[in-house]
Amino acid sequence: DGGITQSPKYLFRKEGQNVTLSCEQNLNHDAMYWYRQDPGQGLRLIYYSQIVNDFQKGDIAEGYSVSREKKESFPLTVTSAQKNPTAFYLCATAQRNTEAFFGQGTRLTVV
């Protein structure tokens, strides 16, 4: 069945390590997005990609990197430069003139 798969659901990282969160979709949507949610706050846009091999920074891109080599995949790397990486990360997809669909999220905790 069609959807967005984020993995893993829970991820633990030691300080100073880079980690990569996976997002795969089979909805054939052109655009993909990464959001971050902190407790008691709304979602904030980290990066987005509207076509393969192209992506743009969102509002809070510092300390993160992405790639879009395939239409189906948009992995997010949380680098050691991200000062407060502990958060709930959500991947979303959208097609032109349709609402965004979200994955189930990855909770990242720095230990």
Distances (CA, A) of 10 to 74, 91, 95, 105, 108: 18, 14, 28, 9, 6
Residue 18 vs 26, nearer CB to other proteins:
26
Taking alpha carbons only, the member of 106, 111, 108, 110 closest to residue 8 is 106
Binding mask 35-74 for other proteins (x = CB under 8 A): x----xxxxxx--x-x-------x----------------
Rule CB under 8 A: say whether 85 interacts with other proteins.
no
CA distance 77 to 94: 21
Q: For other proteins, which residue of 11, 27, 31, 61 counts as binding (CB under 8 A)?
A: 31
Residue 75's H or E segment, with its range, is none
Residue 93 in tokens: 């997809």
| Choices 12-20, 61-69, 75-83, 96-104 (CB under 8 A): range interacting with other proteins | 96-104
Per CB under 8 A, residues contacting other proteins are: 4, 6, 31-33, 35, 40-45, 48, 50, 58, 88, 90, 92-94, 96-105, 107
